[in-house]
Structure 1
Amino acid sequence: MWSKWMLAIRQFLDDEKFRENKRIRHGLYVALGVVLYIVLIGTVLPPTYDFRVNETSPLTIRAPITAVNTFATNKAKQAAMAAVQPIFTLDPTKEINAKAEADTLYDKAIQLVGNPSLSSTSTFNQLKLYAPPKVSASTLQVLLTMDPQQILNVKQVSDSIISNLLSTEFTSESMSQASLLVDQAMLGDNLDNVSRLVVQDVVTHVLQPNLKEQTQETTQKRQQAANETPDVYIHQGDVIVSKSGVITSTVLSELKDVGLYGTHPDYSILIGFALFMLIAVGLLRVYIEHRPSRRRIDNLLLLILILILALMSILILVTKDIINGGGPSSAAYLMPISMGAMLITVLVDASLAVVTSFFLSLLFGAAMGYDFWFTFIGVVASLVGGYSVERVTHRGTFMRAGFLVSMMNIVAILAMQLLLPARTTNLHSLWVHLGIGGLNGLVSAILTMGILPFFENSFGLLTPIRLLELSNPGNPLLKKLLMEAPGTYHHSLIVGNLAEAAAEIVGADPLICRVGAYYHDVGKMRRPAFFVENQMTKENPHDKIAPSLSHLIITSHVTDGLEMLEKAGLPKPIRDICATHHGTTILWYFYNKAREQDKNGSVHVDDYRYPGPKPKTRENAILMICDAVEAAVRSMSKPTPGRIEGVIRKIIRDRLQDGQLDECDLTLQDLDAMVGAFMKTLKGIYHSRIEYPDPDKIRKEVAK
């Protein structure tokens, strides 16, 4: 059941309706953009966590960016503001008010002492109304016993002390020592003890701190101190919380600062990355669609390209998840970015691999925090890897490419480190990065060799490795051809030599031409005796059958060959060579024979054509010409260089006039160059030989 599904998928992918459909092609480009966006959006969006205080962190979380630490910065600013002392100024009203209170008391006492009509109780009560709140009753009674002159003396001393104390800073601490300060101020005054007690009690209770805080100036000074306090930063790579660490309010604050806390994505990043992908995929599409027609890729190869780009984007995502999950940041240096270029070079096209190297490197740099250095390393590794496998002769080519990528990675990383300031270079980190960068190339080569067979077998792609395997004489189909149709086998080998030489001259694929030549006539194994190169005797079975039947037998070797090749699982390019190596040419021999036997004039030339189709690629056209050239030259009795060249040019001219080369892009200049390549090859095969004497005849002559 599974094999039937795979066969159906292979047939659909090989169908021209799929390969050339424009709607499918547009859909593939849209799919590329959507797939890459969905896969890579997680690499550019910072991971978010929804922790609660006192929870335990399941992983070590590092800051993805450098950001201001809000909590620590606010704490530092608050400390700076608290360090600024309040700004005070002397309040003159405090001195005036204190004197006024004391003078009011003394003046009223003088007034009451001079009025003998009032009773002592009434006098005390009235004086109490004008006394400061905390002045003792004994002080008031003493004042009423003094004469007016004594009270005036007390008043003068009190005013002097108040002026002395409140004309300078008088703080709350001064208030706690007011009694002592008043006593010290009275040391030089000639007062009796009673008067001293009165002055001390009155002055002590009218004194008040005389410093007035300047709120606005203090606020401005504190704000200035806060503004001058530098921000505290969380630097990229700093550990915010370790694995199994407790989540505190400080940790939550730091997570918010670096954008790692919350449940809602940053929509500006979503839109910006969508525009980024639209531009990148759009430019890639423009490049692919404006390539020369001979380098154009069909929908199947475009699908392969998309799968490779999707695979590489998944590897980028995995690398970023490892780093976000608490892994070392140096894991980015192990990302096998060159694998994409190597796969595209081998499976699709080398020039396309160059463009996609820049494309993938931009995506890699974006995923790694839009870091230019990772883009640079990706470009270097991809270009070296792609160019190293442009001509694959065996699987060891991939390991050689891996070593080259490793060396260039080391050089690129070293260059990056040398460009950094010396104080930021960590020798341990440098050695780690160099080691991982060196390992990267080998990992890329190994993964490329492991993934390549999947694409070859799943999509029937022809890679140089696959072609080399098919060219092995030990292949079951070639061994069978050698045993059952040895003449055809030898013919195929010579056609392969001719096709390879011609392909190298005109810029076609020599390896496809050679391998295609080996298999183009396998259909002759079904009836080998009906083909002249396999006839060991002079008896020709076609002499005994009608020309129409001979035509049917000869042309059926194409359909028989296609059936054998498809059953053996050979890729479509090889099957196309088999299908088109005769195009729609005419079997002139049997047509003429039919005309000679026809008495009614009912024979039409088109009845004796091959079914086709005509060649559509340079390789198919080269095989058609080589097949005809080899057969014609082999049938020549005296193959001199001049005659050989004449036959070759006649065959090419006939194919052109018959329209067999109308659907391929071979130019007249290419065809003329191919004649020279054919001549060089055929001279080595059909060169003149000396006639060796008969040994038996020589022995007889010697005996006589």
Structure 2
Amino acid sequence: MWTFWETWRQAVRRWREDERFRESKRVRVAIWVSLALAMYWLLLGSVLPPRYHFKVGQTSPVTIVAPTTAVDTAATEQARAAAVKRVPKQYVQSQAVEIEALNQVDQLFTTAEQVVTDKTMSRTQRLDSLLAVAPRKLDVATLKLLLTVKPSQLAMLQNVCDRIVHTLLDVPFNESLMEEASLLVDRQLLNYSLDRVSQNIVQNVVLSVLRPNMIYQAEATRAAQEQAARSVPPILIHEGQVIVERNGVITPRVLQQLQDVGLLSSNRPNYAMSAGFALYILLSVGLLAAYVEQRSARRRLDNLMLVVLGLVLVMMSVLISVTKTIINDGGPSSIAYLVPVSLGPMLITVLMDASVAVVVAFYLSLLYGAALDFGYWFTVLGFVGSLVGAYSVAKVTHRGTFMRAGFFVSGMNALVILAMNLLQHNSEIDVHAVSLEFGLGLLNGIASAVLTMGILPFLESAFGLLTAIHLLELSNPNHPLLRKLLLEAPGTYHHSLIVGNLAEAAAELVGADPLLCRVGAYYHDVGKTKRPMFFVENQMTKENPHDKIAPSLSHLIITSHVSDGLRMLEEAGLPKPIREICATHHGTTILWYFYNKAREMDKTGTVKVDDFRYPGPKPKTRECAIVMICDAVEAAVRSMSRPTPNRVEGVIRKIIRDRLEDGQLDECDLTLQDLDAMVGAFMKTLKGIYHARIEYPDLDKIRKEVGR
């Protein structure tokens, strides 16, 4: 099991340190694309309105408000139906009804006059003739009365009937008037002086031919109804309007309103919002990628750090998404104030730098506000807290820095929440709600600090990252390697401490990482613990082992401390930047002492100077180059018999000049101006270490002189 774990650990380390992986452009593009897809998939549900699976009769676990303004279809249809009902039916007056009625009257009386004057016809035949032409509604009794009227009187009755029919049907005569026809005819008869029999005949004949002359127009009626429906403005469900309160019953009307605003699972997906959010993610990730890729080579993030950046962003997206899911499922909306948005920028500041963290804080805050119904104040809250958190951990000196940063974030959250409530339009402030928001805002900052401290070690371990906290832990003198160095090679240990002080002072002036330089210097010579007595600083006597062996073997022993140190550092699991400092602290410099010794002993002249070089490689970073120079400076100054300031400065400048001429600094980005500034830092530090001391008198001699 242990063998498997060790094999796995070595495989992961090789993957992390594989230059092809860390510098591959294809991998880089894949990381950015994967990040965009992951954030889109995680946050799309937070940005889109929630979908509910309600049925009539259920209770709502949350208060649901309309996410947008939409038409209330049920209320609008109801209002339009009421408007349609108010539209009267459309009729048109028909002259044909009057003409037909007059024709029936004229035909009846003409036939009656003919049969009355025809003496050859029997009474039954006369009645049958009238029945053949009489209107269907005219009764037989009236026809019999009509046969008793004289021909001269029939013409008068016909004229009266025609006039009454014309009077009634020359104007609109509808169904309601038809119901009052008998009364209307009686009123018309008052205009004529007729006996009772004549009145009865006229009334019955007119009533038998009367019918409504208003013809129903179906198309016109439908057009009028449609116009009335169109004239009714749509009734709207306004954005922010409460559709159903928490624990409210889902009625058919509520269900329809949820359908109208697109909050039911049966609604068609909102492709426009999905496409808009995809465009936003594309723009935000694209701009972040442009910023990262445009950074200087020294500050550029390789693929491994890009993976870490992506993981932090994905982690924050998960937090935002989970928070929105809790709110949608009926959780308290105030939980939004507890989302530790500043966690991401704080982690990125510690793992990378504050400039990347500021850009990330901007995008995370926008996503935070968008997920919470595009709330402006949530965006402000997230951005301000993230900025404060990022800048508060820009220089970590101990783990207490994180808690201090957490308190700063809490304070800023409280100020933002106070400003938010004071800027509300309504004058009344809900003290309970504000107190809850304050409390959650304060807890937010503490949670961000605690989570940062908790997550940081996992990222450091998983990706072999070197943070300020990790460096501080490595600088502990109780670390096994430093303890071993102190006990087995005390001279080297103290030499490493001085080199660390020199390197830290120089790094602060030239923009390198001072802490990395100091800690790297502590470990750069751990390989000397393999054979400590072969190094002059550990020799307690005047006996030098190199006097008894060949120069070539001395060269091999001296140079092997680099490879021995690398192996020890790798077995101890120290990060790559520390190992790089160890590997390059001598570069490919020449061991001149042993080369000269070999040349003096060589009788054939076959000794080559390159045979006495360190294997390298040369420093590629500022930190590696600084430790290389500091190592040489400390050794040279310590070996000086009279280290006056002028002589020390001369030695320092000579060492730097020799490294430049030998090409040891060709692969790093230190400038001549940086090197000149480093000289001043070295002089200031060395003055405090190798300062002049007064010569104290011999105490025993003084005691003898005074007789004590």
Task: Decide which moves more: 82-91 or 258-267.
Answer: 258-267
> Given the alignment of the two structures, is residue 340 of structure 1 paired with residue 356 of structure 2, yes or no?
no
Q: Give the superposed CA RMSD.
A: 3.3
**1:491-530 pair list within 5 angstroms:** 491-530=495-534
Pair 1:436–1:701, CA change in 2 (3 A)? same
| 2:101 partner amino acid | A
599, 602, 623: which is aligned to 1:619?
623
Among 338, 358, 379, the alignment partner of 1:354 is: 358
> 1:470 matched to which residue of 2?
474
More deviation in 606-615 or 57-66? 57-66
Whether the 8 Å contact between 1:69 and 1:254 is mirrored in structure 2 is no
Which amino acid in 2 is paired with 1:117? Answer: T
Are residues 296 and 155 of structure 1, via their aligned partners in 2, closer, same or farther at CA, if it must alter by over 3 Å?
Answer: same
Aligned in 2, Cα 1:385/1:85: closer, same or farther, shift over 3 Å? farther
State the alpha-carbon separation in 2 of the partners of residues 166 and 410 from structure 1: 86
Closer, same or farther: CA 315–80 of 1 in aligned 2, 3 Å: same
1:529–1:541 CA contact under 8 A, matched in 2: yes
Kindly indicate whether the alpha-carbon contact (under 8 Å) linking 2:365 and 2:378 is maintained by their aligned counterparts in 1.
yes
With structure 1 as the length reference, what TM-score do the two structures score?
Answer: 0.90
In structure 2, what is the Cα distance between the partners aligned to 1:283 and 1:119? 114
Change (3 A) 1:499 1:180: same
**Which residue does the alignment assign to 1:676?**
680
Distance 1:90 1:424, change over 3 A: farther
Q: What is residue 178 of structure 2 aligned with on the other side? A: 175
Cα pair distance change 1:192/1:396, threshold 3 Å: farther
Match of 2:313 in 1: 309
| Residue 24 (str. 1) matches residue 27 (str. 2) | yes
The residue that corresponds to 2:563 in the other structure is 559
Q: Say which of 100, 111, 116 aligns to 1:113.
A: 116
Counterpart code for 2:305 = L
CA distance in 1, matches of 2:640, 2:16: 44
Report the Cα distance in structure 1 between the residues aligned to 2:162 and 2:331, rounded to whole angstroms.
80
Q: 2:452 aligns with which of 430, 443, 448?
A: 448
Q: Which shifted more, 490-499 or 428-437?
A: 428-437
Pick one of 5, 8, 16 that aligns with 2:8.
5
Q: Tell me the alpha carbon deviations over residues 480-499 of structure 1, each in whole angstroms, 9 at most, x when there is no partner.
A: 32233222222222111111
> Which of 225, 229, 232 is the matching residue for 1:229?
232
- Listed one character per residue, the Cα deviations across residues 247-303 of structure 1 (whole Å, up to 9, x for unaligned) are 859726743651644487555665555554444333333322221111112221112
CA shift, 1:422, in A, is: 4.4
Cα distance in 2, alignment partners of residues 320 and 541 from structure 1? 72
Query: Which 5+ residue runs of structure 2 have no aligned equivalent?
Result: none
Deviations 1:282-339 (A, max 9, x none): 3333322221111112221112112212222222332333344344555444433222
**Residues 533-544 of structure 1 aligned to structure 2 (within 5 Å):** 533-544=537-548
Shift of 1:585: 1.4
Residues 257 and 605 from structure 1, CA distance in 2 versus in 1: closer, same or farther, beyond 3 angstroms? same
Aligned to 1:575: 579
- Report if the CA contact (8 A) 1:70-1:257 is conserved: no
Q: Distance in 1 between matches of 2:369 and 2:166?
A: 78
Instruction: Rate the CA distance shift 1:404–1:266 in 2: closer, same or farther, 3 A.
Output: same
1:361-397 alpha-carbon deviations (Å, 9 max, x no partner) = 4444554566655545443333332222211222232
- 1:86 maps to which of 84, 89, 99: 89
Name the counterpart of 1:145: 148
Q: Alpha-carbon deviation of 1:519?
A: 1.7
1:39 aligns with 2:42: yes
1:224-259: CA deviation from partner (whole Å, max 9, x where unpaired): 332232323344564469779668597267436516
The CA deviation at 1:511 is 1.1
Deviation at 1:654, TM superposition (A): 0.8
What's the offset of the Cα at 1:421? 5.1
Q: Which amino acid aligns with 2:607?
A: V
Quick one: which amino acid aligns to residue 704 of structure 2?
K
Instruction: Tell me the distance in 2 between the aligned counterparts of 1:18 and 1:675.
Output: 38
Change (3 A) 1:271 1:101: same
Change in 2 beyond 3 A, CA 1:105/1:436 = farther
SS of the residue 1:536 aligns to:
coil
Q: Match for residue 134 of structure 1?
A: 137
Q: Please say if 1:480 is aligned against 2:481.
A: no
Comparing 642-651 and 291-300, the one that deviates more: 291-300
Give how far 1:182 is off: 3.0
Contact 2:52 2:263 in 1 (8 A): no
Q: 1 CA distance for matches of 2:432 and 2:97?
A: 71
Read off the aligned partner of 1:104 and give its amino acid letter.
Answer: Q
Q: State the partner residue of 1:294.
A: 298
**Contact 1:467–1:511 (8 Å) recurs in 2:** yes
CA–CA distance in 2 between the matches of 1:357 and 1:83?
61
Alignment match of 1:461 (pick from 465, 478, 484): 465
Name 2:699's counterpart in structure 1. Answer: 695
CA drift of 1:49 comes to 6.5
How far apart, CA to CA, are the structure 2 residues paired with 1:85 and 1:415? 60
After superposition, give the CA deviation of every residue in 1:591-610 in whole Å (9 maximum; x if it has no partner).
22222222222322222222
Cα distance between partner residues in 2 of 1:339 and 1:179: 94
Distance 1:592-1:333 versus aligned 2 partners, 3 A rule: same
- Residue 251 of structure 1 is matched in structure 2 by 255
Aligned to 2:404: 400
User: Contact 1:65–1:258 (CA<8 Å) still a contact in 2?
Assistant: no
Counterparts in 2 of 1:132 and 1:510: CA distance versus 1, 3 Å: same
**Which range is displaced more, 325-334 or 423-432?**
423-432
- 1:203-214 to structure 2, matched below 5 A, reads 203-213=206-216
Asked whether the equivalents of residues 365 and 372 of structure 1 are also in contact (C-alpha less than 8 Å), the reply is yes
> Kindly tell me: are residues 380 and 91 of structure 1, through their superposed partners in 2, closer, same or farther at Cα, counting changes over 3 Å?
farther
Question: 2:588 matched to 1:587?
Answer: no
2:634 to 630, 634, 655: 630
SS in 2 for 1:693: coil
The alignment covers a number of residue pairs equal to 703
The answer for the alignment partner of 1:651 in structure 2 is 655
Shift of 1:669: 0.4
Superposition deviation, residue 463 in structure 1 = 1.0
Residues 444 and 546 of structure 1: is their aligned pair in 2 closer, same or farther, counting only changes over 3 Å?
A: same
The answer on whether the counterparts of 1:70 and 1:254 sit within 8 Å (CA) in structure 2 is no
In the TM superposition, residue 576 of structure 1 has moved relative to its aligned partner by: 1.4
Alignment CA distance shift 1:167-1:398 (3 Å): farther
Q: 1:144–1:408: structure 2 CA closer, same or farther, 3 Å change rule? A: farther
Shift of 1:663: 0.8
Q: Matches of 2:297 and 2:57 in 1, distance apart?
A: 62
The alpha-carbon deviation at position 563 of structure 1 amounts to 2.2
- Tell me the CA shift for residue 641 of structure 1: 0.9
Q: Given that residues 599 and 605 in structure 2 are in contact (C-alpha distance below 8 angstroms), is that contact kept between their aligned partners in structure 1? A: yes
Task: Classify the secondary structure of the residue corresponding to 1:472.
Answer: coil
After TM superposition, the structure 1 stretch with the greater mean CA deviation from structure 2, 494-503 or 334-343, is 334-343
SS state at 2:119 partner? coil
CA distance in 2, matches of 1:72, 1:294: 65
1:261, 1:450 → 2: CA distance?
39
Q: Deviation of residue 619 (structure 1)? A: 0.8
- Residue from 190, 193, 196 that aligns with 2:196: 193
Structure 1 stretch 378-387 or stretch 677-686: which is displaced more? 378-387
Q: Structure 1 unaligned runs (5+)? A: none
Q: Name the amino acid aligned to 2:177.
A: S
The 2-side partners of 1:327 and 1:56 are apart by 18
Percent identical residues: 60
What is the distance in 2 between the residues matched to 1:397 and 1:147? 130
How far apart, in 1, do the equivalents of 2:523 and 2:200 lie?
134
- What SS is found at the alignment partner of 1:127? helix
- Deviation of the 1:344 alpha carbon: 1.2
Q: CA–CA distance in 1 between the matches of 2:695 and 2:404?
A: 50
